[in-house]
Structure 1
Amino acid sequence: MSAAVVAGGAVLATLLVAALTLWCVTRVRRLHRLHVRVDAARAGLAAALDSRARVALALADALGPAAPPDLRRAADAALALPAPAPDGRDPAGSRAAREAAENALTRQLAVVGRGSARSGPCDDLADAEALVVLARRVHNDAVRDTRALRSRRLVRLLRLHGTAPEPVYFEIADPEPPRSPARPHVESPRSPTVM
């Protein structure tokens, strides 16, 4: 009878180890997919921020002397700073500096009257700002999901995240969308929403 108890205990232990191993493998795979998602979202955010800065420069050129004097300076500063680091680290405060530069650019763009320039640059600006809002939300959602899984007790205890750095949020103020009675704020002038 003791041999049967020992054999049963061995089978139970084997099943527990197999279940824990399977759980760990699924969590590691999920963490890897989430980190890949964060990297892709970070690249999309960097592209959207750079695109908005280039559109702001084009808008400053289109406005000519009517452009706010700090608009070109804010756009140049945003383009000059590095994009959010691919590994999530913030070397020498570059992420914080980029966030501050993007907030300064948002403030400068809010000063610009949308009706004062030709419709092309203003339409491009509306599209670029909408893309920045969307890209930042996608990025921060991916960061939130990754941090939530990494914060689980067993994931931290077993260090299932490996050597991947913890992703960080990119916090900037969202630009206010231009609103007019003729065009709802949810539509892009180039691709209207069909309802």
Structure 2
Amino acid sequence: MITIPVWGFIVAVVLILAIVAGVWASGMASRLNRLHIRTDSARVSLEGALHSRSSVVATLQPELGQDVAHVNRVALRATDMGARSEAENELLSELDSQVWTNPNFLEASAKVDLAARFYNDAVSDTLSVRSRPLVRVLRLAGRAPLPEYYEALLSSPAPSEDSADNGGSAEG
């Protein structure tokens, strides 16, 4: 019969636990890396959709060309989504009512909404993993900044008095 000293058994258990913890940490770090890549990819798609909508706005309402150029100069950074969101909302608030009903604008806006949903889902998944205590303690996310949600506050025109008088409503 083979006998293992107590200290040998304790060393074996500690070694096994260390290996399991290392494998878990490595897997979690890889998952976080993939989530950050997914978030970055979704942000790039969102930025492309926003640029496309800006191009449509510039075509439909050329007098807003400088405003469109300003909006496109505001970078869409993962750590400062609010600046671009505010710029987009300012631009959208200046649009004529005909632009809001134009099929090209509606299509571009639908793409922005879809891209924003994908981006916000990726941010939500990333933040849920990064908020775990062991992930924070072990700094498994490295130096990657915490991504922020994209919040488009204005997605449709405010109801005008004319549409309220005519029984119409603005959907949002």
Q: Shared fold by TM > 0.5?
A: yes
Task: Give the percent of matched residue pairs that are identical in Structure 1 and Structure 2.
Answer: 36
Which of 104, 107, 114 is equivalent to 1:127? 107
- Which amino acid in 2 is paired with 1:168? E
Partner of 1:39: 40
Q: Does the 8 Å contact 2:74/2:83 carry over to 1?
A: yes
**Are the structure 2 counterparts of residues 172 and 164 from structure 1 closer, same or farther at C-alpha, using a change threshold of 3 Å?**
same
Shift of residue 101, structure 1, vs aligned partner: 1.2
Shift of residue 114, structure 1, vs aligned partner: 5.4
Partner of 1:97: 83
Shift of residue 10, structure 1, vs aligned partner: 1.3
**Are the structure 2 counterparts of residues 115 and 153 from structure 1 closer, same or farther at C-alpha, using a change threshold of 3 Å?**
closer
**Are the structure 2 counterparts of residues 112 and 72 from structure 1 closer, same or farther at C-alpha, using a change threshold of 3 Å?**
farther
Q: Which runs of 4+ in 1 moved over 4 A?
A: none
Measure the CA separation in 2 of the matches of 1:136 and 1:108: 21
- Which amino acid in 2 is paired with 1:79? N
Partner of 1:59: 60
Measure the CA separation in 1 of the matches of 2:88 and 2:44: 16
Measure the CA separation in 1 of the matches of 2:154 and 2:115: 11
- Which amino acid in 2 is paired with 1:99? S
Measure the CA separation in 2 of the matches of 1:14 and 1:49: 52
Shift of residue 78, structure 1, vs aligned partner: 1.5
Shift of residue 126, structure 1, vs aligned partner: 1.1
Measure the CA separation in 2 of the matches of 1:115 and 1:127: 11
Partner of 2:74: 81
Deviations 1:148-190 (A, max 9, x none): 111100000011111111111121125239xxxxxxx9xxxxx
Q: Does the 8 Å contact 1:133/1:174 carry over to 2?
A: no
The number of residue pairs the alignment matches comes to 157
User: Are residues 1:149 and 2:150 paired?
Assistant: no
Measure the CA separation in 2 of the matches of 1:43 and 1:32: 17
Mark the runs of 5 or more structure 1 residues left unpaired by the alignment: 62-68, 117-121, 178-184, 186-195
The alignment's C-alpha RMSD in Å is: 2.4
Shift of residue 47, structure 1, vs aligned partner: 0.5
When normalised by structure 1's length, the TM-score is 0.72
Shift of residue 2, structure 1, vs aligned partner: 8.9
Partner of 1:181: none
Partner of 1:191: none
When normalised by structure 2's length, the TM-score is 0.80
Q: Does the 8 Å contact 2:100/2:106 carry over to 1?
A: no
Mark the runs of 5 or more structure 2 residues left unpaired by the alignment: 158-170
**Are the structure 2 counterparts of residues 170 and 43 from structure 1 closer, same or farther at C-alpha, using a change threshold of 3 Å?**
same
